[in-house]
Structure 1
């Protein structure tokens, strides 16, 4: 999993799940996260969000191989993980941008 950590810090040109920013690192630093705590944050993200998004990718691939292609269940499951409508809308807009 350590090899995946740089992807959490990648810029918007990389398809990093539903986000095109560093997965909340900036707000965490602004809230007091220290340099020494960053590896723990990245490990937590790798074990939670990244694993979930990788699973969603596998489900989307499975859906793409079926006829007719229907990504709705995968999109609905991912949307259910996002707590508020404005965040869901922002996530969808970022995803379309990627």
Structure 2
């Protein structure tokens, strides 16, 4: 049910774009514009998160510490690939912090 809610929430901006653009430019242009909005939504969300973590480095450090704790737990549990992903996330978060907060 949560996946359905997330899918609907991700498609609403695209549907709104199609609805607003179709009157002036036709259905083909409206559908292409709506698809572009839906595809660009994750990119803009990740970009906004990266900017947030650059401007608030203590948040990035706190999230990296949580990622390190998750990585250590997964290494102890034997899930090496998941733990390596958490470790990579911790390194990425610390690089966004720029080591200024340490």
Q: TM-score, normalised by structure 1?
A: 0.31
- 1 or 2, which has the higher helix percentage? 2
Q: Considering only CA atoms, is the larger Rg found in Structure 1 or Structure 2? A: 2
Structure with larger RCO (C-alpha < 8 A, sep 6+) = 1
